[in-house]
Structure 1
Amino acid sequence: MFGKKKPIPQIDKEQLELIENAQKRIKQKKLLYVHFVLFLIGALFLILANTVLGIGEDFKIFEINWFVFAILLWLFFFFYHAFNVFISHKFMGKAWEKQQLEKLVAKQQARIEKLKAGFVKEETLIAQSEVYNESTTKIENLKPNAKKSKLTIIVAAAENDAIGKGNKLIWHLSDDLKRFKSLTNGHHIIMGRKTFESFPKPLPNRTHVVISRQDNYKVPDGVILVHSLKDAIDAAKTDLQPFIIGGGEIYKQAMNLADKIEITRVHENFDADAYFPKIDTSIWKETSNVFHKKDENHDYEFSFLTYERK
């Protein structure tokens, strides 16, 4: 009652039988090997006993030394032993081997069928889960408070929408640069190749996404290279507010995709070779307007304007 429980075998009866018989087969072959070694040593001993020690040197059978008959008799028993191991298959006959093989094949087939049934069940559950997740995602997207990436254009443009000349800024406004840094810090900034080349080096604490049609265009480590604005937006999808920072052609493409525009409007007209698109007030609503006067650090008056899509 209080004794130890007998261990329960983890393998079935047929497999256990196969293992036990295989162990017997190995043991039989080992014994044959030992027999062969003993035969060699014994034969050598008999020869030495007769020729060196002189044991039974006068005893002969048909004028042949007795140890020759002893060795031949022992050799006969050895061959008989070998015959039992390799020919008669005392422990594992051919019929037995075939029977065991058929049992194992049947076992494996049954396990395969069981696994197939399990896979079908698992695939069904996965499919149901994917449908559920897709439905849940759609519902989450319909929720008013669901977080969504908001694509923002940030630009400094003159009254005549001039933004640059010769791939350089036309003005230097300290507060505008500070605002650009403050808004884009920690975010993805999407730009064309020429805009990227206007930087002495990548801007710190921002992920640069550069759009170029050149397949072999080289960018520094950490900079993401893409070949279209769509791919650039996709590359920045983990960012809740990626920024489009130029140039003129990228701004044009982004106007139909952006949710927000942060523009520094410089109250002056300039000669330029790159321009910002006209802001259609039937589509965009001004939500913020902060005016800055000209002073010792700013050669022009300007305003920080925010537009959001209606």
Structure 2
Amino acid sequence: MFGKKKQKPQIDKDQLELIENAQRRIKQKKRLYVHFVLFLIGCVLLIIANTVLGIGKDFTIAGVNWFVYAILIWLFLFLYHLFNVFVTHKFMGKAWEKQQLEKLVAKQQERIDKLKAGFVKEETLIAQSDLYNETTPKTQNPKSKSELTIIVAAAKNDAIGKGNKLIWHLSDDLKRFKSLTSGHHIIMGRKTFESFPKPLPNRKHIVISRQKDYKIPHGVILVNSLEDAIDAAKNDSQPFIIGGGEIYKQAMLLADKIELTRVHEDFEADTFFPKIDSSIWKETANTFNKKDKNHEYEFSFITYLRK
């Protein structure tokens, strides 16, 4: 009852493992040092035995005294011991294996966390889209609500850009873009906005960026998500999504309309437009354009509406 209270150890398991590992390393190095000293003394004794005492004086191998071979063999054993202490036990021992395993587990967990974050984001957008469709009557006059429209020029292989630049220059496509978007809000990612030499006239720019301190010109609206961008354009009868690739991917779940310029050629690119699912989208207009002196490629203006 009045005896001394048993003290709890102040060293946790990880610290104890580190101490034990350090003690093992000290013992290994001590044994290596002893081996080195014995090797030096042994070499001296072998030389004295042969040259002074005359032991095996006449015994040679390939014209070389036997004690030279003995020293070389012993040297090999010492070097092998040295390698074990400073290479094998240090880099391939139990502690090394544990460290490598922890690194692999950490990397795998990081990948899992990224995938989870992506799934949560996509599920949120899908849920919002479903809720929007469920609460919007199908017989409603389309003019009575905002019609979110994606406008894009994409190649046969869905390429839309490379190095944050357009791959082609089609005069009529640029004119169509200007005609459709003038007077409306245009929603874009930061990189798309930075690809413009200056803000486009007669349009309200909404830029999506996670950078809270991102500098924008006067009159441009900065938001952190596509949902905030759509909310900022709620008073516009037809706001347009104009890029880039990730914004298009998110917008496909929420948009009502797609204005597509399909360039009838395949291109090498680093940014692509999502595949258009015919079970979700209905083609309502298609105008083919031949190539000419102002248009290097054939292209079509195609309109899709959500079914």
Q: Please, what TM-score do these two structures have when normalized by structure 1?
A: 0.54
Q: Superposed, which structure 2 residues align to 1:33-44 within 5 Å?
A: none
Letter in 1 for 2:242: I
Determine the structure 2 residue equivalent to 1:301: 298
Q: Is residue 196 of structure 2 the alignment partner of residue 199 of structure 1?
A: yes
Q: 1:264 aligns with which of 258, 261, 264?
A: 261
Letter in 1 for 2:277: D
* Cα distance in 1 between the residues matched to 2:244 and 2:136: 35
Q: 2:180 aligns with which of 171, 180, 183?
A: 183
Determine the structure 1 residue equivalent to 2:140: 144
* Cα distance in 2 between the residues matched to 1:142 and 1:270: 39
* TM-fit CA distance, 1:144: 2.6
CA RMSD of aligned residues (A): 1.6
Determine the structure 2 residue equivalent to 1:158: 155
Helix, strand or coil at the partner of 1:282: coil
- Seen in structure 2, the aligned counterparts of structure 1 residues 273 and 140 have a Cα distance that, compared at 3 Å, is closer
* TM-fit CA distance, 1:226: 0.2
Q: Deviations over 1:72-118 (max 9, x none)?
A: xxxxxxxxxxxxxxxxxxxxxxxxxxxxxxxxxxxxxxxxxxxxxxx
* TM-fit CA distance, 1:261: 0.1
Provide runs of 4+ in structure 1 moved above 6 Å. Answer: 139-143
Percentage of pairs with the same residue: 80
Determine the structure 2 residue equivalent to 1:282: 279
Determine the structure 1 residue equivalent to 2:217: 220
Letter in 2 for 1:183: L
* Cα distance in 2 between the residues matched to 1:204 and 1:289: 28
Letter in 2 for 1:144: Q
Helix, strand or coil at the partner of 1:306: strand
Q: Superposed, which structure 2 residues align to 1:54-73 within 5 Å?
A: none
- Seen in structure 2, the aligned counterparts of structure 1 residues 142 and 287 have a Cα distance that, compared at 3 Å, is closer
* TM-fit CA distance, 1:140: 11
Q: Please, what TM-score do these two structures have when normalized by structure 2?
A: 0.55
Q: Is residue 155 of structure 2 the alignment partner of residue 168 of structure 1?
A: no
Determine the structure 1 residue equivalent to 2:229: 232
Structure 1 unpaired stretches of 5+: 1-138
* TM-fit CA distance, 1:142: 8.7
Structure 2 unpaired stretches of 5+: 1-134
* Cα distance in 2 between the residues matched to 1:142 and 1:290: 28
* Cα distance in 2 between the residues matched to 1:280 and 1:140: 22
Q: Deviations over 1:206-250 (max 9, x none)?
A: 000000000000100000000000000000000010000000000
Helix, strand or coil at the partner of 1:279: coil
Q: Larger Cα Rg: Structure 1 or Structure 2?
A: 1
